[in-house]
Structure 1
Amino acid sequence: MEISPVDKATLAQARDLRDRFERMLREYEFGMREVETKITILRDEFTHLHAYNPIEHVKVRLKSADSIVEKVVRKGLDGDFDTIRREITDIAGVRVTCSFVADVYLLFELLTQQDDVSVRVVKDYIASPKPNGYKSLHAIIEVPVYLSTGTIRVPVEVQFRTIAMDFWASLEHKIHYKFAGSVPPRLVQQLTDAASAASQLDAQMEQLHREAHAGPDIHIVDV
């Protein structure tokens, strides 16, 4: 069956839109890799030079096209690429799970003080937890990505959590998914209580760590 000229034009336009979307996603993927590399270098430095590794896990996540479209619709945004780039800042994400709360802030400082990293937004949910007890340090940073066409700066959301915070957040997400966001009040209260218990555990474990490793603190001068 022959495609009409109008259909050919529509098909070409759709393919161009698809290709532009794919290029945009690749840019965010490259930015995500840049941040992952920076975190990996810090982890390896601590492991080999300081005999202490404050990083337990590093996970990366790139939003799917469907997730981006859903967020555009939910926020009532125009669907053009400039709006998406400006308004949706968590397309690329890196989660850093640390041993202790002090490590969260240490890693945040070591990452954001690097010369080619710019900080857009910081949300400290450790100092000011969400009502449900959620704790984490969120930062939207920008890193340069060097392409054949030139250098672009890409925003990446970086979340810093302790092991206890990450465990709680993972369970909370699964419960909200199971109940489609309408979690029974009894479970909401139990989650809040669990968040408080996780916070207390973080404090106790960090105190034990300090007592077991009493001595001069690690001082990082240059990164």
Structure 2
Amino acid sequence: MAIKQWKSFLAPYEQAVEELKVKFRSMRKEFRRRNEYSPIEFVTGRVKEISSILEKANKFNIPMDRLQYEMEDIAGLRIMCQFVDDIEKVVELIRKRKDMQIMYEKDYVKNVKQSGYRSYHIIIKYPVNMAEGQQEILAEFQIRTLAMNFWATIEHSLNYKYKQQIPENIRKKLKSAADSAFQLDEQMLEIKDEIKDAQKLFEVKSDIISNIINNILTLISLGKIAESTRYQIQLNKLIEEGEVWELNNLLFSIQRDVEKFREL
């Protein structure tokens, strides 16, 4: 296949990855807008390199004219979660979608691979609207925790270095590291509510501080330098140790002053 043909062949996969990244990042934003916890921490995506496609096609004896039907991960999306039980929530979100068709699922979280690999895979059929018409492509979702992703990234690099023949001593250490990473995930799950509360508190404080800073900038634009400096000093004292109610009181005071000065 010539370079021009490859570009044409990969175009719908590239478009699919970009569309799917936008859709799932928007889902995360929607949870946040509704002031709800999002099981999606972040989303990445990629289209397989030509060299990787050729290598896999050769390994599994896939004819070039069958690539789009038999190679399921030319387009790949990774959805990272904070906690193990978030994975099932993301899977349910995908199952409910009407803009894609699930072909099959592989649960490597419960059915961990011998290497220690854990992840949840979903193969979908996804319609892409190209200039010449609609084209359906296959794409793969990998849904995993941050700890699982860290481990899988390291394993992938070592497999590349050793051409899938990782030395036994390194393989054993990798397996041990995978088990340790999963123990970490399970321990984090036990204190999930505490973590979520802490993260929520951080977000609330960040929003209040941003509003205070915006109002300080407004005071500066109104020429009220002394007042803005006074509020900045108060804010600096509260940023590290201040409680939410103290920041809210400061925000109320500065908003009241901004409204007063605007009326002058």
TM class by shorter chain equals 0.7 to 0.9
Which residue in the other structure is 1:49 paired with?
A: 34
Which residue in the other structure is 1:141 paired with?
A: 124
- Tell me, in whole angstroms, the C-alpha distance in 2 between the residues paired with 1:74 and 1:109: 33
**Aligned AA (1:71):** K
The answer on whether the counterparts of 1:31 and 1:155 sit within 8 Å (CA) in structure 2 is no
Q: Secondary structure at the match of 2:191?
A: helix
The question of 1:91 aligning with 2:74 is answered yes
- Tell me, in whole angstroms, the C-alpha distance in 1 between the residues paired with 2:188 and 2:22: 29
Moved more, 110-119 or 131-140: 110-119
- Tell me, in whole angstroms, the C-alpha distance in 1 between the residues paired with 2:196 and 2:28: 19
**Aligned AA (1:198):** A
Structure 2: tracts of 5 or more residues without a match:
198-264
Moved more, 170-179 or 107-116: 170-179
- Tell me, in whole angstroms, the C-alpha distance in 2 between the residues paired with 1:173 and 1:148: 36
**Aligned AA (2:159):** H
Match of 1:111 among 94, 116, 125: 94
Q: 1:47 to 1:74 in 2, by over 3 A?
A: same
Which residue in the other structure is 2:135 paired with?
A: 152
Q: How does 1:134-213 map to 2 (within 5 A)?
A: 134-210=117-193
- Percent of pairs with identical residues: 36
- Tell me, in whole angstroms, the C-alpha distance in 1 between the residues paired with 2:158 and 2:69: 31
Which residue in the other structure is 1:6 paired with?
A: none
Once the 2 structures are TM-superposed, how far is the Cα of residue 147 of structure 1 from its aligned partner? 2.0
Once the 2 structures are TM-superposed, how far is the Cα of residue 212 of structure 1 from its aligned partner? 5.6
Structure with more relative contact order (C-alpha pairs < 8 Å, separation 6 or more): 1
Moved more, 133-142 or 104-113: 104-113
**Aligned AA (1:109):** E
The answer on whether the counterparts of 1:100 and 1:206 sit within 8 Å (CA) in structure 2 is yes
Structure 1 segments (4+ residues) deviating >4 Å: 211-214
- Tell me, in whole angstroms, the C-alpha distance in 2 between the residues paired with 1:94 and 1:160: 8
Which is higher, the Rg of structure 1 or of structure 2? 2
Once the 2 structures are TM-superposed, how far is the Cα of residue 51 of structure 1 from its aligned partner? 3.8
- Cα RMSD, aligned residues only: 1.9
The structure with more helix, counted as a fraction of residues: 2
Q: 1:99 to 1:213 in 2, by over 3 A?
A: closer
The answer on whether the counterparts of 1:145 and 1:154 sit within 8 Å (CA) in structure 2 is yes
Q: Secondary structure at the match of 1:134?
A: coil
- Tell me, in whole angstroms, the C-alpha distance in 1 between the residues paired with 2:3 and 2:156: 31
TM-score, scaled to structure 2: 0.69
* Post-superposition CA distance 1:106-128 (Å, at most 9, x none): 11211231112100121110010
The answer on whether the counterparts of 2:69 and 2:138 sit within 8 Å (CA) in structure 1 is no
